[in-house]
Amino acid sequence: MSTPDVVIVGGGIGGLSTAFALSRLGVRVRVLEQAEQFGEVGAGIQLAPNCTRILDDYGLLDEAKARGVVPDRMVMRDAVDGSELTALDLRDLEREYGFPYLVIHRSDLHSLFLEACRDAGVGLRTEQRVVSYTQGGGKASATTHTGTIHEANIVIAADGLHSVARELFVDDQPVSSAYVAYRGTVPIAEADHPVDLSEVVVYVGPRCHFVHYGLRGGDLLNQVAVFESPKARAGLDDWGTPDELDTAFSATCDFVQQRLPHMWRDKWWRMYDRDPIGTWVDGRIALLGDAAHPPLQYMAQGAIMAIEDGWVLAEHVQRLRGTNGAVDWTGALAAYEAVRPEHCRRVVLTARVWGELWHLGGIRREQRNALLRAREIGDYSFTDWVYGPTALFPEDEPAMFAPIPLSSADRVGVGSAGTVAP
């Protein structure tokens, strides 16, 4: 490929999925990855129907299901006493939205897109650390640390939380939540206590939560332990250490306590997001994925939003492509920017609030638990706005749900002292 139509900076899930979405239309795409090889770190990832719908459109859903697990239920439990608070019947949810809820290893999803890109003829370049962006004359370019210039009709910056391109749009910094995630995957044959792999389970507790579900056809157990770091709150640099992990979960139920020794203790992930921004396009340069909208993890929509970004952009490229094959790139980027920032703003801000609700203590924990227990299992009023079809135009974006104040729990069984009424 001499001169591509599109250069994508970043070879993660967002960058590769976008490259595939465009290349399947016949667009010439080059992906620049700064590492020595394409790869993905982390462990499990959850793919809700708004994502599996896109995978199905790409012809990749069956392979994704073969590499992952399609669970039966999603369950929320109290981390202190272990009791069930609420659940989603994921088989019914599939009937509701038309597509399944899937869990898969991040590296398996990444490799699926990488293989699809190779098959589609995407130009894949490694060791390409981009340090600057320029544009002019109807073109845009990304320049690497070695001085190599990659020029195209448009440049898409999918370069993550610490995006270089974002500096063209806003002078901001990542926002620390003071929460830390520890991960640990264990072969299910080595799990020393029985685990139901038909469920995705989250235990929510005061300033901590614990998640587990199966991966790779049920051969692997994925676990995530998240907690608020006192050292981070105190402004110390050395925060999120294993001693803080143990202290944070010291009051949780036996099941959670039994899983903690299986967490990786030599590395941990600090949880950041950024404040939403409404401008993602500057001429021929566009932000995508975490470069535009890095969220906290509580809604499990981070990678999904990046995949949606690429799908929406590709749909508008197809719509604005002339009979001679020429693309109205300005129009496509404008249509992309008209719809995606508002949806992602909602997700980023809702994830913050949802995380706060997970981590309540005292009477507010009791109120939350009472409201969750009162929820009807077939009530999808809180998921329709995010699990439904991805909007292509602003008018297609569904209305948000109506928040329920914690104080309303008094009507469903919480007394003034914070105990559950009989």
| pLDDT averaged per 10 residues in sequence order, the chain, 422 residues | 89 98 97 92 90 98 96 97 97 98 96 97 97 96 97 97 97 97 87 82 98 90 96 94 97 94 92 98 98 97 98 98 94 98 98 97 96 94 96 96 90 49 30
- Alpha helix stretches (DSSP H) within 99-190: 106-120
Other C-beta atoms within 10 Å of 413: how many? Answer: 17
| Contact criterion met (CB below 8 Å) for 78 and 85 | yes
Provide the edge-to-edge strand list for the sheet that holds 84-89. Answer: 84-89, 73-78, 199-205, 208-215, 220-228, 175-187, 269-273
d(CA 145, CA 343): 34
Q: Kindly provide the b/e burial profile for residues 334-347, where b requires at least 16 CB atoms within 10 angstroms of the residue's own CB.
A: ebbbebbbebbeeb
Looking at residue 412, what is its pLDDT? 61
Q: How far apart are CA 350 and CA 342, in angstroms?
A: 12
SS3 (DSSP) at 35: coil
Residue 217 is predicted with a pLDDT of 85
pLDDT of residue 330: 97
What pLDDT is recorded for position 3? 85
The label of the residue with tokens 């999803």 reads 109
Element (H, E) at 370: helix 362-374
What are the structural domains, with CATH classification, of the chain? 1-38+126-174+274-342 (3.50.50.60), 42-105+175-273 (3.30.9.30), 360-411 (no CATH)
Q: What separation in angstroms does the CA of 209 have from each of 179, 183, 218, 414?
A: 10, 12, 22, 23
DSSP for 317-361, please give it: HHHTB-TTS-B-HHHHHHHHHHHHHHHHHHHHHHHHHHHHHHT--
213 carries an active-site annotation? yes
* This model's pTM is above 0.75: yes
The tokens 């799990």 sit on which residue? 191
Residue 192, C-beta contacts closer than 8 angstroms, at least 6 positions apart: 258
Q: What is the pLDDT of residue 191?
A: 74
CB atoms within 10 A of CB 31: 29
Residues 108/216, Cβ–Cβ less than 8 Å? yes
Residue 279: both structure tokens together: 């401008």
What is the predicted pLDDT for the residue at 371?
Answer: 96
The beta strands (E) that lie in 116-275 are given as 123-125, 130-136, 139-144, 149-152, 154-157, 175-187, 199-205, 208-215, 220-228, 269-273
Active-site entry in 97, 213, 272, 336: 213
CB 288 within 8 A of CB 157: yes
